[in-house]
Amino acid sequence: MKNIIFKENFDELFFNLEQILWNCQPSLIFQKVMPQVWFNELMNMCYFSYYLLIGSVCILIYLKSPKNSQKDIFVIVFSFYLYYVIFDIFPVAGPHYYVAGADSDVTPRLFFGELMHTIISDLERPTAAFPSSHVGIAVIIAYFAYKHVKKVFYVILPFVLGICMATVYIKAHYLVDVIAGIISAPLFILLSNKVYALFLRFNSSKPI
């Protein structure tokens, strides 16, 4: 992400907001409250499942109804762009990057713990925390799964809930980011649908 408008990240604001709202830092105490190795691995597995949910649900939507899938897949992809526009304009790094020592776990890491630590530390870049696109896209994916393949919705629902928890647990996001991700999901669905309708209207008005 690039700090296009603001050169400084807004983490100090969000860190103070967390303290005002919750009288603590949820991203810093969650792992200390639940330090069990099995729970740590579960949270990291849920966070990793995000990368699998997107492609698998989009494929299922297409297989269920190829003709009608274009609009819904457009909504998912366009929502990604909306989140990244916000990240570029309103940079927040997240506690993993902002708080000194936050990148170290209090619990020994197993497979998914090591995998996610590598992804966040080495492959991801800061300034993409608010709102949580992981949470927002996961909610949008769950919505379309419920709309098209309800059986799959009930399978992925625990993972979607787990993603909401894991983003805070592994210190990738502030709790405020998660709430904003949930709130932004239906708004982005509505906005993306309107943009898609505009595209259709524009294309239908073009001379042949």
20-70 per-position pLDDT tens digit: 999 999 999 999 899 999 999 999 999 999 999 999 999 998 998 888 788
**Per-residue pLDDT averaged across 105-127, rounded?**
74
Tell me the C-alpha distance between 208 and 206, whole Å. 6
164 CB-contact burial (10 Å; exposed 0-12 / middle 13-18 / buried 19+): buried
Give the contacts of 77 (CB within 8 A, at least 6 positions apart).
Answer: none
The reply to whether 169 falls in a domain is yes
The reply to whether omega before 35 is within 30° of 0 (cis) is: no
The reply to whether 43 falls in a domain is yes
The reply to whether 208 falls in a domain is no
The reply to whether 110 falls in a domain is yes
172 CB-contact burial (10 Å; exposed 0-12 / middle 13-18 / buried 19+): buried
What is the tally of structural domains in the chain?
A: 1
The residue range of the domain holding 129 is 11-23+36-201
The reply to whether 147 falls in a domain is yes
The reply to whether 5 falls in a domain is no
The reply to whether 3 falls in a domain is no
The reply to whether 30 falls in a domain is no
